[in-house]
Structure 1
Amino acid sequence: MLAALTSMNEPYAEFAVERDRDVMQRRKLHIDLSDPNLSRLILRLAVPSVVGLSINALQQVVNAIFVGALGAQAIAAVSMTWPIVVLLTAVGQGIGVGTASFISHRLGTGEYLEASRGASTALALAAPIGITITVALLLSLRGVFVTLGAPPTIMSVALDYAATLLLGGTLMLLNIVNGFIVRAEGNTRFSMWTMIAAFTLNAVLDPVFIFLMDLGVRGAALATLVSQIAAIGLYIAYFTQRRGIVLIRISRISFQADCIKQLLFIGAPATTTSILSAIADMLLYRAAAPFGDEAIAAVGIAVRILTVGALPITGFCIGSQAVLGFGWGARDFVRVLKATKFMLSIGLALSVAYSAAVVSFARPLIGLFSDSDNVTEIAISTCIVFHLFFGLFGIQSIVTTMLQSFGKARLSAVVSFARQGYLFIPAVLLFPVISGFNGLLASQAIAELGAGMIALCVLFHQFAELRRALPDENRDYSPQS
């Protein structure tokens, strides 16, 4: 055995020893990605991720409810900060998506050392990038809010909230990447419990900091900061105790161009999509600003409710992505087709159900966030229009996840950029000029509908390509069967 090990390259020998040391324990902790029962496997992976991101969505709701008690200006100020948060997390999501695709492919082909190198390198990239972005935003914060169109009535409140929140910007980015790594190796439950712990802490600290300590919106930001610190502590414990299949080590960091390109290239569409989302939100709030603080608050409430629906579906896609990546890496196209069909049925059901629920119960939902009659009436119409075609979001998300898992970054960009990019941005710039606030509302609905149609066209094309790649004995398999 020793002779065999010494004949191997030293890094591989080291990895083999470390991996064999407690392999049985890790097998118990992780889900077998080759499980033949696909529906059970996907649900076991996805449900914890759905719960985790639903908790994240609930955290946004709880924060908004507490801040809403401070008045329309407070919730308008916090809403103005949302594009900044999205912009910061964009990089984390991009690195995370690329890393998850890299890890699941390598696990599918049995290249455990390469999976560990990808994870270690991703975290090594994320930290300095997060620090750089955070410092740049802090130094230009007032100018950012001016660009966003923040009126003087909410400027000081927005600055207080954003400056405190950005102190944890790098931690937020690292937590996102850590979550993708853990989920990609099949341990979605740990990611779920980490999110639940962070949410619980945030929910407990919100009223303490906001009301008992009389810190106002700054208290809400401080509660989020403390919860991010707690989450990073849990992830550090996870990796240092080697509870995962991939091992995070300084010695595994690789700054070779090929490795970095693979990590960043696949995640580039996700990063760009999130940046486009930040730009879209910026343009949305800027378009709402001429109509007053109440309009900004109403749009902010509607966007929060939209996010509450989107995050569980995103969680389902993130949790399921490892199955698609593993199947693609193993060149098991029958498995990929079956998994995609099942994911589509779940994603579409979730988005249609949420869309119908919000449109039907808009008034009581809005009542959770504001007791102002003017804000409530504006928010109800905004919320209904924003959710008219949200039923198509499930298709968009599944198709984007499928393309990312296949490593088809360019085609993924075509689908993911539509909803808040090349369809929405021209609409939100043009329609409010023509039709005022109603034009602002229409821009979101039209972009959602158009993006759904594009996703459907790409989906049918991908199914046709996958069927052509099947072995002859499986050539008759159809995803509709």
Structure 2
Amino acid sequence: MSVRETRVDLSDPDLLGLILRLALPSVVGLSTNALQQAVNAIFVGSLGAQAIAAVGMTLPIVVLLTAVGQGIGVGTASFISRHLGAGEYLEASRGASTALAVAAPIGIMLTVALLFNLRGIFVALGATSTIMPVALDYAATLLFGYTLMLLNIVNGFIVRAEGNTRFSMWTMITAFVLNAVLDPAFIFLLDLGVRGAALATLASQIAAMSLYIAYFANLRGIVVLRASRISLRAERIRRLALIGAPATMSSILATIAFMLLYRAAAPFGDDFIAAVGIAVRLLTIGALPITGFCLGSQAVLGFGWGSRDFARVLKTAKFILSMTVALSVAYSAAVVIFARPLVRLFSDSEKVTEIAVTTCIVFHLFFGLFGIQSFVTAMLQSFGRARLSAVVSLARQGYLFIPAVMLFPVISGFNGLLASQAIAELGAGIIALFVMLHQFAELRQAIGQSASRAVEIAG
């Protein structure tokens, strides 16, 4: 393959430099994605509280749809990096080709199913009569580009798994710039309102897909996508799905959690729904760079695990952990300190601002623990440990948050709603910490056993 040398060497002995070369472009790329969401929200915010609430209520649907792509992508990336570490390049290409072949029909089926059930979904989310038509207009337009979005997500995981996070970064930046330019043009110049924001997002997805097609067609990476390499063997699909299932389930539970969150806020009125939407969006913006660092460096963990170099895996893990904790603590502090000016970017309503400031502060009190949760989930995915990954990834928006958000608002009203997020974040962080310490102990034991075997062989 004439262009293999263009990819990053995942066995590079300069481990810290390698991680940064892989992770920083991924951070920039997903941060750009977060910025794209913020820009959309800022432009839509000028259309009023109903528009803010409508776009906020669509977020659970977007998270649900993204969940499918992340599940397929996580499983595929883990599969690719471990097989590259073992030197099995053809098997890595088969995994990537199969993943995309499975993703396309899934995207089409989900699009059709959701289009026929949108109104019922927004009713379940607690949409009022003033929010409903705006939400339907925005979501229906957005759904037409879902299959493209799904394929772009999987493509991004494939490219990052083979070490080319820089290309993924530039693809996301290109999509963001196009979206930022088209947002005001469609929303205001063409007077399309929230539909204009959805059309701008759709155009950016088309641009991203064009770049990925060019990338794979020109053989710019080690993974080769070919129809002849699609393998629908049950065992291969099972291996791809097993690792990605916790990521999908985590996002699906997050969608259910958002639905329950908005439903709990609905009895208090549109202003409370808008405030919760702003807080959730800020949480999402903060989570994406941290997730990006984990995704960018995940290939190093998977490659080291596949080559059985446990000392390298442990050193990689410790560095990733330090970076993700630093990022999450810094973001948590920034939102708590600067909550009011941040909220003002999304709304000029005094009532919405007052509610949103308190909501943002409480939601971000324990966000510093998100760095540990993200790292542990990424590490377990790299190792192929699906069940343990599920225990960690499903805690924050799943089995801790959902019971809390169903119970506490009934007892304490809106304050109970706020407490549910903070308590779930704290509990999930503690669970991730215990799992991490156990995994580090296992890695140290494996390193000791490898050293003992080496001494025996030398003797």
TM-score when normalising by structure 2: 0.98
Partner of 1:214: 191
What's the % identity of the aligned pairs?
Answer: 79
Partner of 1:115: 92
Q: C-alpha offsets along residues 198-240 of structure 1, whole Å, 9 cap, x if unaligned?
A: 0000000000000000000000000000100110111011111
Asked if 2 retains the 8 angstrom alpha-carbon contact of 1:334 and 1:474, the reply is: no
What displacement does 1:471 show? 3.9
- Say yes or no: does 1:267 pair with 2:244: yes
CA distance in 2 between counterparts of 1:190 and 1:101 reads: 19
Partner of 1:14: none
Equivalent of residue 63 in structure 1, options 16, 36, 40: 40
Regions of 4+ moved over 6 Å: none
CA distance in 1 between counterparts of 2:20 and 2:190 reads: 42
Residues 7-156 of structure 1: pairs in structure 2 closer than 5 A: 19=1, 22=2, 25-27=3-5, 29-156=6-133
CA distance in 1 between counterparts of 2:191 and 2:74 reads: 39
CA distance in 1 between counterparts of 2:53 and 2:292 reads: 27
CA distance in 2 between counterparts of 1:473 and 1:375 reads: 59
Equivalent of residue 436 in structure 1, options 413, 417, 434: 413
CA distance in 2 between counterparts of 1:68 and 1:245 reads: 43
Q: C-alpha offsets along residues 444-473 of structure 1, whole Å, 9 cap, x if unaligned?
A: 000000000000000011111111111447
Partner of 1:374: 351
Equivalent of residue 250 in structure 1, options 227, 234, 240: 227
CA distance in 1 between counterparts of 2:409 and 2:450 reads: 56
Asked if 2 retains the 8 angstrom alpha-carbon contact of 1:52 and 1:193, the reply is: yes
Ranges in structure 2 where 5+ consecutive residues have no aligned partner: 453-459
CA distance in 1 between counterparts of 2:253 and 2:20 reads: 30
- Say yes or no: does 1:283 pair with 2:260: yes
Partner of 1:397: 374
What displacement does 1:474 show? 4.8
Count of residues in correspondence between the two structures: 452
What displacement does 1:104 show? 0.2
Amino acid at match of 1:26: R
Partner of 1:305: 282
Question: Residue 470 of structure 1 aligns to a residue in which SS?
Answer: helix
TM-score when normalising by structure 1: 0.93
- Say yes or no: does 1:342 pair with 2:330: no
Moved more, 194-203 or 138-147: 138-147
Residues 118-197 of structure 1: pairs in structure 2 closer than 5 A: 118-197=95-174
CA distance in 2 between counterparts of 1:154 and 1:373 reads: 20
Partner of 1:227: 204
Please report the RMSD computed on the Cα atoms of aligned residues, expressed in angstroms: 0.8
Question: Residue 152 of structure 1 aligns to a residue in which SS?
Answer: coil
- Say yes or no: does 1:467 pair with 2:444: yes
Amino acid at match of 2:34: A
Equivalent of residue 455 in structure 1, options 432, 436, 439: 432
What displacement does 1:153 show? 1.1
Q: C-alpha offsets along residues 346-366 of structure 1, whole Å, 9 cap, x if unaligned?
A: 000000000001100000001
Question: Residue 153 of structure 1 aligns to a residue in which SS?
Answer: coil
Equivalent of residue 331 in structure 1, options 308, 319, 344: 308
CA distance in 2 between counterparts of 1:124 and 1:473 reads: 40
Q: C-alpha offsets along residues 33-57 of structure 1, whole Å, 9 cap, x if unaligned?
A: 0011111110000000000000000
Equivalent of residue 357 in structure 1, options 334, 338, 342: 334
Residues 385-424 of structure 1: pairs in structure 2 closer than 5 A: 385-424=362-401
Partner of 1:317: 294
Question: Residue 248 of structure 1 aligns to a residue in which SS?
Answer: coil
CA distance in 2 between counterparts of 1:383 and 1:139 reads: 34
Moved more, 88-97 or 463-472: 463-472
CA distance in 2 between counterparts of 1:147 and 1:406 reads: 38
